[in-house]
């Protein structure tokens, strides 16, 4: 495995990135959203099409202006070719171009479907092989642990699940994609910075979908990683009542069971915390 990029190199990148700042930790590259983009679940350059889907967070399009909704529930604000969308889109493109032209050094090159792999925080170069199965991100108890994936081509996932364990936040996962991103019946997390279109069909997406071209959702649920958090705040997302994925820092009031996650209640496989008295 190659050495992580030096703190000096990461500090240099931080001064020129408008959307995200890549900062050095012991073993991670963390993503810190800026004010112009942090409320957006979706940013598109040409158009947004949302069909039978749910979006928690703002939706923006610029310089295009088309937002087409059919059975689409958006909890945030729609910014169609206004000044807010324009600034956010420019910041996204600036960061995309910087990662393209000045990418951080990769800790490891990843090939294949990524199924069954467990990755510690770091920077990873990823090939364009179609992804499937389950990829596990292990934060090792560090709430600020970060991952940056540099996808050299298109990101295509079918039944592709990205799971965070041992703490961590979706906001600290960044996928730079040279071309288009297409996710089908997948459960994904992280922010996608795509050089072409993003298409999400079915499944869930915890993070932000930013595309130079169009963003299309069909039968999907997307929750912006900062949708319920103020500037610098934590995400108040639904509690996953399964066990084995670590404490989530989630909002019990935003849970189907109105409880903390089973991990936070001491649940173990075969003996989930939900069986105990509610708190």
pLDDT (mean) for 84-106: 95
Tens-digit pLDDT profile for residues 130-147: 999 999 999 999 999 999
Local confidence band at 154 (pLDDT 50, 70, 90 cut-offs): very high
Q: Where are the domains of the chain?
A: 8-223, 238-279
> What is the pLDDT, as a whole number, of residue 22?
38
> What is the pLDDT, as a whole number, of residue 52?
98
> What is the pLDDT, as a whole number, of residue 279?
35
Structural contact between residues 253 and 238, judged by C-beta atoms closer than 8 angstroms? no
Name the pairing type of β-strands 147-151 and 73-74: unpaired
Quote the tokens at residue 115.
């199924």
Tens-digit pLDDT profile for residues 117-129: 999 999 999 999 9
Cis peptide, bond prior to residue 90, ω within 30 of zero:
no
pLDDT (mean) for 177-206: 98
Residue 106 has pLDDT above 50, yes or no: yes
Tens-digit pLDDT profile for residues 224-265: 986 433 333 333 333 444 444 343 444 333 333 333 444 444
Identify the residue whose tokens are 């999400």.
200
> What is the pLDDT, as a whole number, of residue 38?
84
Averaged pLDDT of the chain: 79
pTM: 0.73
């Amino acid at each position: 495995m190659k050495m992580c990029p030096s703190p000096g190199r990461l500090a240099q990148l931080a001064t020129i990135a408008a959307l995200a700042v890549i900062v050095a930790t012991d073993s991670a590259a963390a993503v810190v959203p800026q004010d112009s983009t942090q409320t957006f679940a979706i940013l598109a350059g040409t158009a947004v099409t949302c069909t039978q889907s749910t979006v928690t967070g703002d939706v923006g399009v610029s310089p295009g202006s088309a937002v087409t909704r059919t059975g689409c529930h958006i909890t945030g604000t729609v910014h169609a070719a206004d000044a807010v969308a324009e600034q956010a889109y420019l910041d996204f493109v600036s960061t995309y171009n910087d990662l393209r032209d000045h990418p951080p050094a990769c800790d490891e090159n990843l090939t294949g479907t990524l199924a069954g792999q467990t990755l510690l925080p770091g920077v990873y170069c990823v090939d364009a092989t179609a992804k499937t199965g389950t990829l596990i991100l292990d934060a090792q108890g560090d709430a600020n642990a970060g991952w940056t994936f540099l996808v050299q081509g298109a990101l295509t996932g079918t039944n592709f699940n990205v799971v965070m364990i041992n703490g961590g936040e979706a906001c600290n996962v960044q996928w730079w994609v040279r071309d288009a991103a297409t996710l089908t019946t997948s459960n994904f997390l992280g922010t996608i910075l795509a050089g072409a279109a993003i298409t999400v069909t079915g499944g869930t997406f915890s993070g932000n979908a930013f595309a130079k071209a169009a963003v299309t959702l069909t039968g999907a649920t997307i929750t912006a990683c900062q949708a319920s958090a103020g500037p610098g705040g934590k995400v108040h997302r639904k509690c996953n009542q399964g066990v084995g994925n670590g404490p989530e820092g989630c909002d019990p009031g935003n849970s189907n069971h109105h409880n903390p996650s089973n991990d936070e209640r001491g649940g173990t496989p075969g003996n989930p915390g939900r069986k105990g008295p509610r708190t």
